[in-house]
Amino acid sequence: MRAIMACLSALAIFSLTALAKDDYTLGPDSLEQKDVPRGKITKHTWTSKIFPDTVRDYWVYVPAQIDAKEPACVMVFQDGGVYVDPKGQFRVPTVFDNLIHKKEIPVMVGIFINPGKKPAKDGEKEINNRSFEYDTLTNQYASFLDK
């Protein structure tokens, strides 16, 4: 009887998954809008001293409305390459542009940072440092972001 219940449960879960639709449509704030000033995105590479021997890409988004004489908010995105992609699933710079223009959020700088990688040495494979950086229960990642 237990085996039958387990099979029925598995079948129900599989059926729900199979019927799920992947038809999310981006809303207007995720699409470039006419007459909305576009911020600037610059790409950089950084070698960390907090996580020795790791190299990572990061991007900085600066909104068009930035005033160097005024403070601005900052938002940091881990796995940043996914969020900064203008044709990707999230399109955060475009969303920022639209919401800042509509004054629904304050002027905000975006920092999009990828986890570090230790470059391949002597024929070995490159090492992804993501889990160590994000999951270690110390203040190391906060110190890293602060530098």
**What's the pLDDT at 22?**
66
Max avg pLDDT among 3-12, 80-89, 123-132: 80-89
pLDDT in tens, 44-94: 999 999 999 899 999 999 999 999 999 999 999 999 999 999 999 999 999
pLDDT over 70, % of the chain: 84
Domain ranges of the chain: 26-146
pLDDT of residue 113: 96
The confidence score (pLDDT) of residue 107 equals: 97
**pLDDT above 60 for 15:** no
pLDDT tens column, 88-99: 999 999 999 999
Which contiguous run of DSSP H or E holds residue 57? strand 54-62
- Give yes or no for a contact between 71 and 97, defined as CB atoms under 8 angstroms apart: no
Angle at 83 between CA 137 and CA 68, to 5 degrees: 95
Long-range contacts (CB closer than 8 Å, 24 or more residues apart) made by 83-90: 83/112, 84/41, 84/59, 84/110, 84/112, 90/30
Q: What angle do CA 73, 56, 110 make, to 5 degrees?
A: 15
User: Domain spanning 26-146: which CATH class is it, in words?
Assistant: alpha beta
Whole-number pLDDT of residue 2: 67
